[in-house]
Amino acid sequence: MSTISPTPATPDGHHAEAVAVAAERRWAVVVGIIMGVIVLLMIFAGVHWLSMPPSRVETVNVRTLHLQGEFVEGNLGTAVDGDGKVTVRLVAQQYSFEPQCLVVPQGVPVTFRGTSADAIHGFIVGTTNANTMLIPGFVATFTTTFPRAGEQLMPCHEYCGIGHEAMWARVQVLPREEFMERARHAERMSCVPR
């Protein structure tokens, strides 16, 4: 890689060449040390994350997704638990979301929990900050609040195959009272026909 440029033909020619070679060696050592430190950091970070995965990473078995556990069909949609916490559970697959239409309250924190049954998908709800990737084997979760009532589109935003463009769901943001009234009568909710 390193080449020594021809030294001017002076009486001192040999000496100048030796100085250049020594300088190049010094810099090679410096660069070598920097590279060594970077490689050591990469190894350290890799081993560290392997032995201590971030606590927020939740995994789920893709093979049994539809058969047992949190993401069985009857458990998808919106649920309000005893202390009023609102949770939306959904599954993405080529090329649709289940449920196809989500219902959430206005002005109340909503926790999304989602995963994918096949490829990497993602979604964003209208112009809100509800936005995540859905990766097979992992549970994506975030909490957000929808300030305005109304209906929003929820397209898949990760290219997931030929049907990607047609993969989207809808989100109905209901006024808080209307939502809570419905929640009193249903364990799992999806959209109201309007």
Note the residues at the interface with ligand CUA (CB under 6 A). Answer: 92, 95, 121, 156, 158-160, 164, 167
Q: In what order do the strands lie in the sheet with 168-174?
A: 101-105, 168-174, 150-155
* CB-based contacts of 67, cutoff 8 Å, min separation 6: none
Q: Whose Cβ is closer to ligand CUA: residue 94's or residue 144's? A: 94
Instruction: Report d(CA 186, CA 86) in Å as an integer.
Output: 13
CB of residue 156 to ligand CUA, shortest distance in Å: 3
Q: Whose Cβ is closer to ligand CUA: residue 97's or residue 146's? A: 97
CB of residue 100 to ligand CUA, shortest distance in Å: 13
Q: Whose Cβ is closer to ligand CUA: residue 105's or residue 114's? A: 114
CB of residue 164 to ligand CUA, shortest distance in Å: 4
| 166 DSSP assignment | G
* CB-based contacts of 155, cutoff 8 Å, min separation 6: 123, 124, 167, 168
Q: Whose Cβ is closer to ligand CUA: residue 164's or residue 170's? A: 164
CB of residue 141 to ligand CUA, shortest distance in Å: 18
* CB-based contacts of 148, cutoff 8 Å, min separation 6: 106, 173
